[in-house]
């Protein structure tokens, strides 16, 4: 029963916000806000799985989102055949070399687990492999990057439908999370926070600077879409008929046939944008519901109970025979996979991959604010947090303009202070976020929808 209340709060808030924006601004803005809210909700659920279920601090959200984004490029972009023939073999060889290094490290860890100098061996292998890798891959990388540098200059992808990339993004993120988790998860909470933050910084630098792989700062634009394009919609018969049907009363008022046609054209153009966004919303909604359903199921299963037990008292859980290390690693991978999935969704929705746009404030800490504000350990809370925080994030600029105009109304139009403040409107959203987080932590430390303690 309690769950139902959370569910209702969560989705009525979402509907109300969307409808409000739709009525007062425009339906296009409302739908793009809704879509980003849904993506944020998925990200927040990923973080919630790690932090709310298991108490693991992951400040590397940005890195996993970028991996998801990279997956869209690797999966959906058509391959660049010239680049493959120029440097493909070199890249494959260095990939094999890298795999050999990783396997040998694992072998050393397994076979020599008791050996005194085990760590030194691992260290030595890593140190030696870096210059070697550079030596092997260097020439082919420069060959690849020199082919059509202005338009491609990278290997391209597999030319598959972009929906696949969401799953590939999740798998890639989980793999990276496995490596990161093996290294970092043994650390204490604050060390873990700092080291995951550093890891995400490294992932971003790799995505930014390995141009043969991701085109780096040159960005990849014009990615595929899982929904129709506006231009195609505007030409198709059924869509025009649909628009005509919905606006029949408006159109029937116009008598002049020429005006009628131009009005219809106008309507078709605006509604094609809305329609595309609506398609995205549908897909994203399905994703949110599926993840929400399974997270709820997991949270209430014996496994979820065990995770909470580990979170609340690690020592006791260990004493009960639970393998804390293994479970931590598993849940870290699971959460990161969901974050990677969301990262791929985000890039798909934007239609472009811009590695330089990944900043920790927007892509790590904002997601954290969503989880903390919404309610740690409650899936509905994470979804609600995603909605509310993204709403505030988007709407704080117009709100700030109103406030600034109110306070500076007595000042001259040309006044320096007014001008300066109006130019810095985008930064008021950080202020709102900070104040929101501080207030919630103080007065509602468990978030808007607190975790429900289930007693069986």
Site for another protein, rule CB under 8 A: 57, 119, 123, 130-131, 134-135, 183-184, 187, 189-191, 193-195, 197-199, 201-202, 205-206, 208-209, 359-361, 365, 368-369, 372, 421, 423-424, 427-431, 433-435, 437-438, 441-442, 445
Of the pair 184, 283, the CB lying nearest another protein is at 184
Transcribe 227-246 into DSSP letters: S--HHHHHH-HHHHHHHHHH
Contacts 24+ apart (CB under 8 A), 307-312: 307/53, 307/54, 307/331, 308/53, 308/377, 310/54, 310/55, 311/53, 311/54, 311/55, 312/55
CB of 359 to another protein, least distance (A): 7
Rounded distance between C-alpha atoms, residue 342 and residue 236, angstroms: 31
CB of 50 to another protein, least distance (A): 13
Cα 49 to Cα 233, 312, 365, 420, distances in angstroms: 39, 15, 16, 42
Measured in Å, how far apart are the chain's first and last C-alpha atoms? 14
Of the pair 124, 261, the CB lying nearest another protein is at 124
Report yes or no: 137 and 91 within 8 Å, Cβ to Cβ. yes
Q: At what angle do helices 324-350 and 27-48 cross, to 10 degrees?
A: 160
Q: Which two tokens stand for residue 302?
A: 């014996």
Of the pair 135, 246, the CB lying nearest another protein is at 135
CB of 441 to another protein, least distance (A): 6
- Is residue 151 helix, strand or coil? coil
Q: Which residues pair with 353 in a beta bridge?
A: 220
Of the pair 301, 422, the CB lying nearest another protein is at 422
Of the pair 105, 163, the CB lying nearest another protein is at 105
Beta strands in 217-364 (DSSP E): 220-221, 352-353
CB of 208 to another protein, least distance (A): 7
Of the pair 143, 224, the CB lying nearest another protein is at 143
CB of 110 to another protein, least distance (A): 17
Contacts of 286 (CB under 8 A, 6+ apart): none
CB of 308 to another protein, least distance (A): 16
- Is residue 446 helix, strand or coil? coil
CB of 434 to another protein, least distance (A): 3
Of the pair 32, 50, the CB lying nearest another protein is at 50
Of the pair 133, 267, the CB lying nearest another protein is at 133
CB of 254 to another protein, least distance (A): 48
């Amino acid at each position: 029963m309690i769950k139902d209340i959370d569910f209702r709060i969560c989705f009525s808030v979402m509907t109300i916000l969307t409808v409000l924006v739709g009525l007062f601004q425009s339906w296009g803005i409302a739908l793009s806000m809704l879509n980003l809210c849904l993506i944020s909700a998925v990200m927040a659920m990923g973080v919630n799985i790690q932090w709310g279920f298991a108490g693991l601090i992951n400040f590397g959200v940005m890195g996993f989102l970028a991996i998801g984004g990279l997956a869209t490029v690797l999966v959906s972009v058509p391959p660049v055949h010239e680049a493959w023939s120029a440097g493909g073999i070199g890249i494959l060889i260095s990939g094999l070399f890298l795999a050999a290094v990783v396997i040998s490290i694992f072998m050393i860890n397994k076979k020599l687990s008791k050996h005194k100098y085990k760590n030194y061996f691992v260290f030595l292998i890593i140190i030696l492999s870096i210059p070697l890798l550079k030596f092997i891959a260097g020439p082919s990388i420069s060959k690849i990057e020199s082919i059509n540098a202005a338009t491609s200059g990278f290997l391209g992808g597999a030319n598959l439908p972009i929906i696949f990339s969401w799953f590939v993004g999740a798998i890639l993120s989980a793999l990276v999370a496995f490596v990161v988790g093996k290294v970092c998860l043994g650390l204490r909470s604050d060390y873990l926070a700092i080291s995951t933050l550093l890891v995400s910084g490294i992932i971003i630098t790799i995505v930014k600077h390995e141009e043969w792989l991701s085109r780096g700062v040159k960005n990849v634009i014009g990615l595929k879409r899982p929904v129709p394009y506006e231009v195609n919609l505007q030409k198709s018969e059924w869509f025009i008929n649909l628009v005509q049907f919905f606006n029949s009363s408006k159109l029937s008022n116009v008598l002049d046939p020429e005006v009628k046609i131009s009005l219809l054209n106008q309507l078709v153009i605006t509604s094609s944008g809305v329609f595309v966004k609506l398609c995205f919303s549908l897909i994203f909604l399905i994703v949110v519901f599926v993840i929400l359903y399974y997270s709820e199921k997991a949270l209430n299963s014996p496994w979820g109970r065990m995770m909470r037990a580990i979170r609340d008292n690690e020592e006791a859980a260990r004493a009960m025979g639970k393998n804390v290390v293994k479970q931590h690693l598993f849940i870290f991978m699971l959460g990161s996979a969901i974050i990677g999935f969301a990262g791929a969704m985000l890039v798909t929705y934007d239609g472009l991959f811009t590695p330089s746009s990944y900043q920790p404030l927007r892509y790590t800490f904002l997601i954290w604010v969503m989880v903390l504000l919404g309610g740690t350990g409650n899936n509905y809370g994470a979804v609600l947090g995603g909605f509310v925080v993204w709403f505030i994030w988007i709407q704080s600029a117009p709100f700030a303009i109103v406030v600034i105009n109110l306070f500076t109304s007595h000042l001259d139009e040309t006044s320096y202070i007014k001008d300066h403040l109006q130019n810095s409107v985008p930064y008021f959203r950080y202020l709102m976020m900070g104040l929101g987080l501080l207030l919630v932590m103080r007065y509602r430390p468990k978030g808007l929808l607190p975790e429900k303690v289930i007693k069986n």
